[in-house]
Amino acid sequence: MLLIATLILLAAAPMVLAQTHLDNVVRIGYQKYGTLVLLKARGSLEKRLALLHVEVQWTEFPAGPQLLEGLNVGSIDFGTVGEAPPIFAQAAGADLVYVGNEPPAPAAEAILVPKNSPIKSVAELKGKKVALNKGSNVHYLLVKLLEQAGVQYRDVDTVFLTPADARAAFERGSVDAWAIWEPFLAAAERQTGSRILADGKGVVSNHQFFLAARPYAQKRSDVIAIILEEVASVDEWAKTKPKEAAIALQPQIGLDEPTLELALERGGYGVKPVSDSVLAEQQKIADAFYDLKLIPKRINIRDATLQGTLRGAQPATQSQAQR
């Protein structure tokens, strides 16, 4: 009997630990740039959640796909990424949910070529090497720009690299072009004289999404709502005071203030609930990726949503943004 009781206790221990985690901690994944970096530096989220006895833990990731891999394996509960990463993650079985998004920022991603490159149009990328982070927002940008230019995706040699490795390859001439987002985009423009071949304007929306692990979102919708309120507050500040935001980002990122101001000018600000129209846009992206065999199966974007609970909490972020 003692052995059976011990085994029951051991089996229950992970459930107890998981319950404690959901109650007392929120683990946030962030990238080198964006609203969450400003929120982390401000410290306001920690103060608000301390009233609920919830600790905030931060983990930096090099890009969206890696961040959502962390969410999938249970190392974070919440994070922000572009349009494509949640589609790849959902197709890989990640139990995530969309909990909010920022407005479109199509100018915040682009395809760069070296300043002396003979390439003058997207059509001329046929047969060329293009560096990008697989599964990131710029993956869809490349797909749509090639489609617009009448070039088959398979006719471009995609080289999948993280931003740091892609920049190194770009500078040494190992690739002909680089599909990249802010602030890497502004940094490359200003530091290397790289030229924008095409950006997302008129081609893609480039929404920034806030996502959570489903178990955490179901258990702690109150914490998620507070995070989104604080993000909305930071967004409003960055939108109205970009110079101050650049100054705050500078020690966090290590780029000069003019570069950060340029990057901030291209952003989208203001947290919104994920609308039906935005979900429909995501579905189009998912279908395009499946048709190109970039994801292994068709997915339904609405499977990665929560009905009611979080959508009821999110409108508070808009009133917060207006304060």
Q: What is the CATH number of the domain that holds 282?
A: 3.40.190.10
The total of structural domains in the chain comes to 2
Q: Which of 126-130, 157-161, 234-238 has the lowest mean pLDDT?
A: 234-238
pTM of the entire structure?
Answer: 0.83
> Is there a single domain that holds both residue 69 and residue 137?
no
On whether both 184 and 301 belong to a single domain, the answer is no
Last residue of a domain, one of 149, 176, 199: 199
190 lies in the same domain as 223: no
* 86 and 15 together in one domain: yes
Instruction: Place 111 in a pLDDT band, splitting at 50, 70 and 90.
Output: very high
The domain boundary residue, chosen from 181, 199, 217: 199
pLDDT at 308: 35
Judge if 16 and 110 occupy the same domain. Answer: no
- Confidence class of residue 309 from pLDDT cuts 50, 70 and 90? very low
| 98, 220: one domain | yes
- Same-domain pairing of 182 and 231: no
| Same domain membership, residue 313 and residue 176 | no
Q: Which residues of 18-44 are buried (b: 16+ CB within 10 A; e: fewer)?
A: eeebbeebbbbbbbbbbbbbbbbeeee
Domain that holds residue 11: 2-104+207-322
Residue 17 pLDDT greater than 70, yes or no = no
Compute the half-sphere exposure of residue 129: CA atoms within 13 Å on the CB side of its CA. 12
- Whether 270 and 235 have beta carbons less than 8 Å apart is answered as yes
Condensed to tens digits (0 to 9), the pLDDT of residues 43-55 reads 999 999 999 999 9
Q: Please report the pLDDT score of residue 20 as a whole number.
A: 52
Residues 163 and 212 in one domain: no
236 and 261 share one domain: yes
pLDDT, mean over the chain: 89
Q: Report how far residue 27's alpha carbon sits from residue 25's, in angstroms, rounded to the nearest whole number.
A: 6
